[in-house]
Amino acid sequence: MAGPRVRKKRTPEGTSATFKADQSLIEVIKGNGKVIPQAVKHWVEQYESDPKTAMVELLMMLFEACGAKYQLREDFLDETDVDDVVVALVNLARRGEIEDYHSSKRKELKNFKENLVAFWGNLVIECQNGPLFDQVLFDKCMDYIIALSCTPPRVYRLVASLVGLQLVTSFISVAKTLGSQRETTQRQLNAEKKKRNEGPLVESLNKRLSMTHENITVIEEMMRKTFTGLFVHRYRDIDPNIRISCIQSLGVWIVSYPSLFLSDLYLKYLGWTLNDKISGVRKASIHALQNLYEVDDNVPSLGLFTERFSNRMVELANDIDVSVAVAAIGLLKQLLRHQLLPNDDLGPLYDLLIDEPSEIRHAIGELVYDHLIAQKFSSSRSRGSDEGDASEVHLGRLLQILKEFSADPILCTYVMDDVWDYMEAMKDWKCIVSMLLDENPLIELTDVHATNLVRLLYASARKSVGERIVPATDNRKLYYTKAQKEAQENNRRDITVAMMKNYPQLLRKFMADKEKAPSLINIIVHLKLELYSLKRQEQNFKTVLQLIKDAFFKHGEKDPLRSCVKAMTFCSSESQGELQDFAQNKLKELEDELIVKLRSAMKEVAEGDDEYSFLVNLKRLYELQLTKPVPIESLYEDFVTILRDSQNMDDEVVGFLLLNMYLHVAWCLHAISDGENLSETSISSLLSKRNALFGFVESLLNIPCEAQEDGKYGTLLACRVCTILAEMWCLFRKSNFSSTKLEQLGFCPDTSVLQKFWELCVQQLNISDEMEDEDVNREYIEDINREVVMIAAAKLVATDTVPKDYLAPEIVSHFVMHGTSVAEIVKQVIVVLKKNANHDVSNVFLEALKRAYSRHVLELSKSDDELSASKSFAECKDLAARLSGTFVGAARSKHTVDILQIVKGGVSFAFLDAPRKLSFLEGAVIHFMPKLPGSYALDILKDVQKRTENVNTDEDPSGWRPYYTFVDTLHEKYAKNEGFQDEKESVKRRGRPRKLRNIQGKKLFDGQGSSEEEDSISASDREAQDEEEHDPEEDVPLIHSLKSSSKLRSLRVSREDSKGPTRTSDSGGTTRDNLGGSRTSGPTSI
């Protein structure tokens, strides 16, 4: 029986590689890098025995590394002019006879750059005891390297720059070794001179010292030669990779060899490149400066440089590239550490605490913590205080910062999130609770401070258990490791222990404050409730629940009510045993007491008293019903009665009455659908409630626009009516109940009701921005704006709740009329229509264009105001442009039939009453013509011309002008078959683009100029590329757009405002002019 097979171990590639004497140098560099030291040693031995032959081999390797094969003759090496050789090499590039190893993607060349750098580095080290100082070998090499670095072919410059920069780095390594030897020799000489002034040893040490000094002088001269001949030109190269390499190398040189390079003569290049238009170059410069400021001994020599360029460093904290901004903030921290930046310059930085990119916010948060809270950079900061006092001091300083943002809780939350990772005091919950209860205060709490400290306590609790307190831009779910989850559980335990005994006291103290109560009450959902039983604190738990219930009836605002409901429902479901029974009983008591209060308030209203109590209790019921069903069957009939009998009731009260009735109907339907209450009686009751609600809401569809202007809450009620009707129609749409026992619940509105619904929606859409801005601070504003109204209508179309023939074209016709947020909602509706095969997109688009045009005609007939008419016609043209723009890339061929139907239908509509409607050709149809293949377009042109064969167009020249404009435009585009060409170019291709044909070699050289033209892409190519790109929004579910759009108005901190008025542009042109002196970092011609 055969034994088990032994698996052979794979030996790493190249572990056994050895250098062969017959290998050429270029083969060594292309091959295994481990043989480079052997190859270098072999070459140095060859150079020492036959310098010219070895020199020719080295230079030819340099040329081959550039991709050119050029033969040098060793007989004429001394007489050969460097410029003649370089010109010949450039001619090879012009003819395309070179190969680019540097940028090659071939597998065997993956280590080419590293091997090339390693070879020249090893060569310098190997020659440090001989050929390095013969003033022949490296002088000749540097002449060729510098000359090649100034040639137009990009690959020559890349390779020569790579080699030249490495030479300087290696020279520095040798110079540092020589410097150490010089110091050692000097010490030995000084010691020997103390013994005797003369002698063979003193003479030998003097000679060695002199020789070492001469070698250092020679090698520093070679550094200067390479710097002035190569770096000074290449740090401004058109290729950003070369610029980045130059700046990275300069940073290394200054840190490694400050005796030569740490001076303004070299530092200025780092300052100038802070203005480079490429973010990678700016970042390389920042990183180089960070390494400089990291060394304390360098700081005294950086004074003048810092004074000149510190303003630019501050500006870079707001760079358009996030990684550059984060790096710049790290650099500013170092300036603060060395006290090189005045506090007055930090003002703009603090605005970045509420910037959108989290990386920037957190970087600024670290700076703020170090500089303002912990005061690590302050020479006078207190030392020796115990941990508790330190926490209180740090929290006090944070409260001073939060005071600047206290007007907006969202901004305060951003600041807390920014410093969370660095500020341990935020996790000192005992200290926070003690400060709130004024126990031995070091800092006197004002009301503003107390509000912010409560917000901080709530934010800290959420962060410590793994919740986000600032919305993420990517909406990705957070995932945690096992260790992180354990830490979060420990945090939850610690918070509970810290709060357990003091929670009732905090609630009693701040329960009546509507600003503090919501955050304080919400903390309970992050506590570990079972600890109340384990630590025998049941009475405290019961006290907390009673106080939360009392708070529910103390407040009438949304946030306190919502937090109370959330806390009560959480405790009734998550607590255990006796405590859970107690929580459920308290919740039931709350419901019963609320119903009693509602009956009493309704009675007062019926008797003619004030409606305030009724409104507040309706809000409480609404917040409760958002979370759970409430048994208000007996109240429902009373709601219907009071709506029917009270003619002058406030619109806000009516709105909340309708909302509560809708929620009750929805909960009843939910119970029936789940089979909990499926009986004829329950279905009949639900139908009765639904019909009563439908009847009253539909009666409110006739709210006139004038009533909205006169009434304080007219807009609110109209929005409520629109959203409730749309939700009810979706809830009871027939498709939900077809072929089921509940089929009788299905409902579809009449066309007349649907038209009235849309007319009311249009009234809300047309409300001016000024009126909406006046209501920005109103409660529930996120439920009563134009975006919510458009979402309600869009939902009806997207879910096929109502026939699309009327509503879909109406919605699409408003695509460009009401701002960006509404346009985004309509765009998602169009995506849904296109994806649904049951929807006739061409008919929807055509009808939408007709309705937009009809509005223009109506505007034209109402008044002689040319401005108003031109605006309506511009909206019609914009709509056509946006709709035609949805047919891009592959969609053009996929939807050719739809486009053709739109064009033909549009032409027919325009000629129905010619010439009155001919402007429809110019306003709508013309925008779809470029989307058609040329053959179709020419047929359309013939059809249009045929329609005017027997018509005298001279009778009304102005009326027929749009026709001639349309025909002339088509003639210009398609007379020379440009239409066919457009058709070919517009087809979307998958996979990699085809390579251009008839290209001889690589275009590495072009005339006298730089390599800029090599990499430029024509405008037409870019347009074609843009068209071919897939529209990511086609794959975005409608619900995502609807959810995000509905909250646009509620978030009062816009992205633009949070970023500040200016954002450092990529070009950096203006700043560069101000700071860059006579030289700037902009690329120049070679």
- Nearest C-alpha neighbor of 810 from the set 878, 862, 758: 758
Which of 317, 323, 320, 293 shows the shortest CA–CA distance to 305? 293
Going from the C-alpha of 724 to that of each of 526, 661, 663, 1039, the distances in angstroms are 34, 10, 10, 18
Q: Please report the pLDDT score of residue 1003 as a whole number.
A: 33
Query: Percent of the chain beyond pLDDT 90?
Result: 45
Query: What six digits make up the tokens of 225?
Result: 């030669």
H/E segment holding residue 145: helix 137-149
CA distances from residue 535 to 412, 538, 572, 668 in whole angstroms, order as listed: 34, 8, 19, 42
Q: Is the pLDDT of residue 558 over 60?
A: yes
Contact, 786 vs 843, CB < 8 A?
Answer: no
Residue 1010 has pLDDT above 60, yes or no: no
Q: Tens of pLDDT along 781-819?
A: 777 788 999 999 999 999 989 888 899 999 999 999 888
Question: What is the C-alpha radius of gyration for the chain, rounded to an integer number of angstroms?
Answer: 39
Q: Which residues contact 479 (CB under 8 A, 6 or more apart)?
A: none
H helix count then E strand count, the chain: 52, 0
Count of other CB atoms within 10 angstroms of residue 787: 23
Question: Tens digits of per-residue pLDDT, 120-135?
Answer: 999 999 998 888 888 8
Q: How far is CA 393 from CA 389, 426, 427, 444, 461, in A?
A: 6, 11, 14, 11, 20
756, 703 contact by CB (below 8 A): no
pLDDT (mean) for 666-690: 85
Residue 862 predicted with pLDDT over 90: no
- Is pLDDT above 50 for 979? no
Residue 1080 C-alpha from the chain's centroid: 30
CA 940 to chain centre: 45
Q: Do residues 554 and 595 lie in contact, with contact meaning Cβ atoms separated by under 8 Å?
A: no
Angle between helices 82-94 and 154-195 (to 10 degrees): 150
Taking residue 144's Cβ as centre, other Cβ atoms within 10 Å add up to 19
Task: Name, in order, each residue with C-beta under 8 angstroms of 152's C-beta and a sequence gap of 6 or more.
Answer: 90, 93, 1004, 1005, 1006, 1007, 1008, 1009, 1010, 1011, 1086
The residue assigned the tokens 């405008």 is 1019
Residue 514, SS3 per DSSP: coil
HSE (CB half, 13 Å, CA atoms) of 456?
A: 36
Nearest to 470 by CA among 1061, 1057, 1053, 1056: 1053
Most confident among 453-462, 736-745, 1003-1012 (mean pLDDT): 453-462
The Cα–Cα gap between 369 and 367 comes to 5
| Dist CA 296 CA 975 (whole Å) | 74
- CA 743 → CA 683, 689, 736, 747, distances in Å? 11, 17, 8, 9
- Does 674 have pLDDT greater than 80? no
Distance between CA atoms of 414 and 516, rounded to whole angstroms?
18
- Computed over every residue of the chain, the mean pLDDT equals 82
**Most confident listed range (8-12, 74-78, 611-615, 945-949):** 611-615
Q: Note the pLDDT of residue 777.
A: 52
- CA distances from residue 362 to 42, 357, 366, 478 in whole angstroms, order as listed: 54, 9, 6, 18
Give the contacts of 362 (CB within 8 A, at least 6 positions apart). Answer: 418, 421
Instruction: Answer for the pair 541, 575: CB distance below 8 angstroms, yes or no.
Output: yes
- CA nearest 356: which of 444, 474, 460, 269? 474
Asked if residue 618 lies in contact with residue 657, where contact means CB atoms within 8 angstroms, the answer is yes
Kindly report which listed range (171-180, 305-314, 670-679, 918-927) carries the lowest average pLDDT score: 670-679
Q: Distance between CA atoms of 51 and 895, rounded to whole angstroms?
A: 74
Q: How many other C-beta atoms are found inside a 10 Å radius of the C-beta of residue 82?
A: 14
Read off the pTM.
0.77
pLDDT of residue 305 exceeding 70, the answer is: yes
pLDDT value at 482 more than 60: yes
User: Which of 489-498, 759-768, 1059-1068 bottoms out in mean pLDDT, i.e. has the lowest?
Assistant: 1059-1068
Please give the average per-residue pLDDT across 593-598, as a whole number: 94
Q: Is the pLDDT of residue 938 over 50?
A: yes
Per-residue confidence (pLDDT) for residue 886, from 0 to 100: 86
- Tell me how crowded residue 642 is: count the other CB atoms within 10 A of its CB: 18
Q: Tokens for 982, please give them.
A: 């457009």
Cα–Cα dist 419/431, whole Å: 17
Residue spans of alpha helices (H) in 626-650: 633-645
DSSP 582-627: HHHHHHHHHHHHHHHHHHHHHHHHHTT--SHHHHHHHHHHHHHHTT
Q: Given phi > 0 = left and psi -120 to 50 = alpha, else beta, which region is 159?
A: alpha
SS3 425: helix
| Contact (CB, 8 A) for 405 and 344 | no
Q: Which two tokens stand for residue 523?
A: 């903390």
Cis status, amide bond into 258, omega within 30 of 0: no
- 187 CB-near residues (< 8 Å, 6+ apart): none
Q: Distance between CA atoms of 648 and 657, rounded to whole angstroms?
A: 14
Q: How far apart are CA 653 and CA 716, in angstroms?
A: 10
The mean pLDDT of 109-119, rounded to a whole number, is: 90
List, for residues 582-591, the tens digit of each pLDDT value. Answer: 999 999 999 9
From CA 531, how far away is CA 866, in angstroms rounded? 74
Place of tokens 């377009």: 937
The arithmetic mean of pLDDT across residues 708-736, rounded, is 79
Whole-angstrom Cα distance, residue 792 to residue 721?
10
Nearest to 828 by CA among 1035, 1069, 690, 1068: 1035
CA distance 36 to 70: 23
In angstroms, the CA 904 to CA 303 distance is: 74
Q: In angstroms, rounded to a whole number, what is the distance separating the alpha carbons of residues 316 and 1064?
A: 7
**Alpha helices (H) along 836-933:** 841-862, 866-884, 890-894, 896-910, 919-923
Position 323 scores a pLDDT of: 94
Cβ contact 540:527 at 8 Å? no
Helix (H, G, I), strand (E, B) or coil at 319: strand
Alpha carbon 195 to its chain's center: 73
The band of 561, judged by pLDDT with boundaries at 50, 70 and 90, is very high
Q: Measure CA of the first residue to CA of the last residue in the chain; give whole Å.
A: 75
Q: What is the DSSP letter of 373?
A: I
What is the pLDDT, as a whole number, of residue 1079? Answer: 35
Q: Which tokens in the block code for residue 109? A: 């060349």
